[in-house]
Amino acid sequence: MNQRKRPTLAGWHAVILHRPHPAVDALQRQLEALHIHVRVVWPQLLETDVDADVVFFDADMGHDGQFPWPAGHAPMPVIALIGSEAPGRIEWALSQGSNAHLLKPIGSTGAYSALLIAAHAYENARAQEDDIRSLEGRLRQRPVVVRAVVKLMQECGEDEASAMKRLRAFAMTWRITVEEAAEAICNNDGRTLTGA
Protein backbone atom coordinates (compact mmCIF):
# COMPACT_ATOMS: atom_id res chain seq x y z
CA MET A 1 0.00 0.00 0.00
CA ASN A 2 1.27 3.46 -0.90
CA GLN A 3 2.12 5.40 2.26
CA ARG A 4 1.76 9.14 1.96
CA LYS A 5 3.53 11.61 4.14
CA ARG A 6 1.11 13.17 6.59
CA PRO A 7 0.92 16.94 6.10
CA THR A 8 2.37 19.13 8.82
CA LEU A 9 -0.62 21.19 9.88
CA ALA A 10 1.13 23.48 12.37
CA GLY A 11 1.50 26.88 10.78
CA TRP A 12 -1.30 26.35 8.26
CA HIS A 13 -3.71 29.20 7.61
CA ALA A 14 -7.37 28.24 7.75
CA VAL A 15 -10.35 30.34 6.77
CA ILE A 16 -13.78 29.53 8.15
CA LEU A 17 -16.54 30.88 5.91
CA HIS A 18 -19.45 30.81 8.34
CA ARG A 19 -21.71 33.25 10.14
CA PRO A 20 -21.05 33.67 13.89
CA HIS A 21 -22.13 30.44 15.57
CA PRO A 22 -21.11 28.13 18.44
CA ALA A 23 -19.98 25.57 15.83
CA VAL A 24 -17.44 28.10 14.55
CA ASP A 25 -16.13 28.71 18.06
CA ALA A 26 -15.69 24.95 18.63
CA LEU A 27 -13.95 24.49 15.28
CA GLN A 28 -11.69 27.46 15.89
CA ARG A 29 -10.62 26.01 19.26
CA GLN A 30 -9.78 22.67 17.62
CA LEU A 31 -7.76 24.30 14.84
CA GLU A 32 -5.87 26.58 17.21
CA ALA A 33 -5.01 23.54 19.36
CA LEU A 34 -3.35 22.14 16.20
CA HIS A 35 -1.37 25.42 15.88
CA ILE A 36 -3.32 26.47 12.81
CA HIS A 37 -3.90 30.18 12.24
CA VAL A 38 -7.64 30.82 11.88
CA ARG A 39 -9.64 33.62 10.34
CA VAL A 40 -13.44 33.65 10.34
CA VAL A 41 -15.25 35.50 7.54
CA TRP A 42 -18.82 35.98 6.39
CA PRO A 43 -20.54 36.37 3.93
CA GLN A 44 -17.78 35.73 1.36
CA LEU A 45 -14.09 35.01 0.96
CA LEU A 46 -11.66 37.71 -0.11
CA GLU A 47 -9.33 37.47 -3.10
CA THR A 48 -6.43 37.10 -0.64
CA ASP A 49 -8.04 33.94 0.78
CA VAL A 50 -6.71 31.99 -2.22
CA ASP A 51 -3.47 31.81 -0.21
CA ALA A 52 -5.11 29.86 2.66
CA ASP A 53 -4.07 26.26 3.24
CA VAL A 54 -7.64 25.12 3.90
CA VAL A 55 -11.14 26.59 3.80
CA PHE A 56 -14.09 25.42 5.89
CA PHE A 57 -17.44 26.59 4.57
CA ASP A 58 -21.04 26.56 5.74
CA ALA A 59 -22.94 24.13 3.54
CA ASP A 60 -26.27 25.12 5.13
CA MET A 61 -26.24 28.85 4.42
CA GLY A 62 -23.63 28.91 1.68
CA HIS A 63 -24.43 30.12 -1.82
CA ASP A 64 -22.82 30.62 -5.21
CA GLY A 65 -20.56 33.64 -5.45
CA GLN A 66 -18.99 33.31 -1.99
CA PHE A 67 -15.71 32.00 -3.39
CA PRO A 68 -13.18 33.92 -5.51
CA TRP A 69 -12.74 30.90 -7.83
CA PRO A 70 -15.07 28.92 -10.08
CA ALA A 71 -17.22 26.29 -8.35
CA GLY A 72 -15.30 23.08 -7.85
CA HIS A 73 -11.89 24.62 -8.55
CA ALA A 74 -10.61 25.64 -5.13
CA PRO A 75 -6.84 26.13 -4.98
CA MET A 76 -6.72 24.36 -1.61
CA PRO A 77 -8.61 21.65 0.29
CA VAL A 78 -12.15 22.70 1.23
CA ILE A 79 -14.23 21.20 4.01
CA ALA A 80 -18.02 21.51 4.22
CA LEU A 81 -19.64 22.21 7.57
CA ILE A 82 -22.97 20.38 7.35
CA GLY A 83 -25.92 20.70 9.70
CA SER A 84 -28.75 19.96 7.31
CA GLU A 85 -28.76 16.73 5.35
CA ALA A 86 -31.11 18.15 2.74
CA PRO A 87 -30.09 16.65 -0.62
CA GLY A 88 -29.92 20.06 -2.29
CA ARG A 89 -27.53 21.40 0.34
CA ILE A 90 -25.27 18.36 0.09
CA GLU A 91 -25.29 18.56 -3.72
CA TRP A 92 -24.33 22.23 -3.49
CA ALA A 93 -21.45 21.41 -1.10
CA LEU A 94 -20.23 18.73 -3.49
CA SER A 95 -20.46 21.14 -6.44
CA GLN A 96 -18.07 23.42 -4.56
CA GLY A 97 -15.49 20.63 -4.62
CA SER A 98 -15.74 19.68 -0.96
CA ASN A 99 -12.89 17.31 -0.09
CA ALA A 100 -14.27 16.36 3.35
CA HIS A 101 -16.97 17.42 5.78
CA LEU A 102 -17.70 18.00 9.44
CA LEU A 103 -21.17 17.50 10.86
CA LYS A 104 -22.69 20.22 13.03
CA PRO A 105 -22.97 20.61 15.90
CA ILE A 106 -19.20 20.54 16.15
CA GLY A 107 -17.81 19.27 19.42
CA SER A 108 -14.26 18.94 20.63
CA THR A 109 -13.07 16.49 17.96
CA GLY A 110 -13.28 15.87 14.22
CA ALA A 111 -11.24 18.70 12.71
CA TYR A 112 -7.96 16.76 12.62
CA SER A 113 -9.36 13.79 10.71
CA ALA A 114 -11.30 16.10 8.37
CA LEU A 115 -8.10 18.02 7.63
CA LEU A 116 -6.12 14.87 6.83
CA ILE A 117 -8.89 13.42 4.68
CA ALA A 118 -9.38 16.72 2.83
CA ALA A 119 -5.64 17.16 2.21
CA HIS A 120 -5.40 13.60 0.88
CA ALA A 121 -8.48 13.94 -1.35
CA TYR A 122 -7.28 17.31 -2.67
CA GLU A 123 -3.83 15.92 -3.48
CA ASN A 124 -5.37 12.94 -5.29
CA ALA A 125 -7.72 15.16 -7.29
CA ARG A 126 -4.86 17.46 -8.37
CA ALA A 127 -2.70 14.46 -9.36
CA GLN A 128 -5.55 13.05 -11.44
CA GLU A 129 -6.10 16.41 -13.14
CA ASP A 130 -2.38 16.61 -13.95
CA ASP A 131 -2.44 13.07 -15.37
CA ILE A 132 -5.49 13.87 -17.49
CA ARG A 133 -3.88 17.06 -18.84
CA SER A 134 -0.71 15.14 -19.66
CA LEU A 135 -2.63 12.37 -21.43
CA GLU A 136 -4.76 14.88 -23.34
CA GLY A 137 -1.59 16.67 -24.46
CA ARG A 138 -0.03 13.42 -25.61
CA LEU A 139 -3.24 12.49 -27.42
CA ARG A 140 -3.23 15.85 -29.23
CA GLN A 141 0.33 15.13 -30.34
CA ARG A 142 -0.43 11.66 -31.77
CA PRO A 143 -0.86 12.97 -35.34
CA VAL A 144 2.69 14.38 -35.12
CA VAL A 145 3.97 10.97 -34.02
CA VAL A 146 2.26 9.36 -37.02
CA ARG A 147 3.78 11.95 -39.38
CA ALA A 148 7.25 11.37 -37.88
CA VAL A 149 6.93 7.60 -38.24
CA VAL A 150 5.85 8.00 -41.88
CA LYS A 151 8.76 10.39 -42.51
CA LEU A 152 11.23 7.93 -40.96
CA MET A 153 9.75 5.10 -43.04
CA GLN A 154 10.24 7.14 -46.22
CA GLU A 155 13.69 8.54 -45.41
CA CYS A 156 15.19 5.41 -43.87
CA GLY A 157 13.37 2.76 -45.91
CA GLU A 158 12.02 1.04 -42.80
CA ASP A 159 8.74 -0.61 -41.93
CA GLU A 160 6.39 0.96 -39.38
CA ALA A 161 7.68 -1.03 -36.38
CA SER A 162 11.31 -0.18 -37.15
CA ALA A 163 10.48 3.50 -37.67
CA MET A 164 8.66 3.62 -34.34
CA LYS A 165 11.62 1.92 -32.65
CA ARG A 166 13.94 4.50 -34.22
CA LEU A 167 11.68 7.35 -33.00
CA ARG A 168 11.80 5.95 -29.44
CA ALA A 169 15.59 5.67 -29.68
CA PHE A 170 15.83 9.32 -30.78
CA ALA A 171 13.66 10.35 -27.85
CA MET A 172 15.88 8.46 -25.41
CA THR A 173 19.09 9.82 -26.94
CA TRP A 174 17.77 13.37 -26.98
CA ARG A 175 16.23 12.89 -23.51
CA ILE A 176 12.83 14.14 -24.53
CA THR A 177 9.41 12.55 -24.91
CA VAL A 178 8.46 10.56 -27.99
CA GLU A 179 6.03 13.32 -28.88
CA GLU A 180 8.74 15.99 -28.62
CA ALA A 181 11.10 13.87 -30.73
CA ALA A 182 8.37 13.43 -33.34
CA GLU A 183 7.85 17.17 -33.47
CA ALA A 184 11.60 17.74 -33.86
CA ILE A 185 11.73 15.25 -36.72
CA CYS A 186 8.72 16.80 -38.46
CA ASN A 187 10.16 20.30 -38.03
CA ASN A 188 13.66 19.31 -39.20
CA ASP A 189 15.22 21.10 -36.24
CA GLY A 190 18.75 20.11 -37.24
CA ARG A 191 19.04 16.87 -35.33
CA THR A 192 20.41 14.05 -37.44
CA LEU A 193 18.12 11.17 -38.35
CA THR A 194 20.95 8.72 -38.79
CA GLY A 195 21.53 6.44 -35.82
CA ALA A 196 20.20 7.21 -32.38
pLDDT, position 9: 94
**What is the C-alpha to C-alpha distance for residues 93 and 108, in angstroms, rounded to an integer?**
23
Residue 12 backbone dihedrals phi, psi, to 5 degrees: -65, 160
Asked if 157 and 84 sit in the same domain, the reply is: no
pLDDT, position 60: 96
SS3 string of the chain? CCCCCCCCCCCCEEEEECCCCHHHHHHHHHHHHCCCEEEEECCCCCHHHHHCCEEEEECCCCCCCCCCCCCCCCCCCEEEEECCCCHHHHHHHHHCCCCEEEECCCCCCCHHHHHHHHHHHHHHHHHHHHHHHHHHHHHHCHHHHHHHHHHHHHHHCCCHHHHHHHHHHHHHHHCCCHHHHHHHHHCCCCCCCCCC
pLDDT, position 193: 58
Regions of the chain with pLDDT less than 70: 1-4, 189-196
Asked if 112 and 164 sit in the same domain, the reply is: no
Residue 191 lies in a domain: no
Asked if 127 and 177 sit in the same domain, the reply is: no
**What is the C-alpha to C-alpha distance for residues 126 and 131, in angstroms, rounded to an integer?**
9
pLDDT, position 3: 63
Residue 192 lies in a domain: no
Residue 193 lies in a domain: no
pLDDT, position 1: 47
- Residues 54 and 118 sit within 8 Å (Cβ to Cβ): yes
pLDDT tens, position by position, 125-134: 888 888 888 8
Residue 6 lies in a domain: no
pLDDT, position 107: 92
Number of domains into which the chain is organized: 2
Asked if 28 and 120 sit in the same domain, the reply is: yes
pLDDT, position 161: 92
Asked if 108 and 175 sit in the same domain, the reply is: no
pLDDT, position 134: 82
pLDDT tens, position by position, 58-98: 999 999 999 999 999 999 999 999 999 999 999 999 999 99
CATH number of the CATH domain containing 179: 1.10.10
Asked if 151 and 111 sit in the same domain, the reply is: no
Residue ranges making up the domain that contains 60: 13-136
CATH number of the CATH domain containing 107: 3.40.50.2300
Asked if 170 and 104 sit in the same domain, the reply is: no
pTM for the full model? 0.74
Asked if 171 and 114 sit in the same domain, the reply is: no
Out of 98, 117, 136, a domain closes at 136
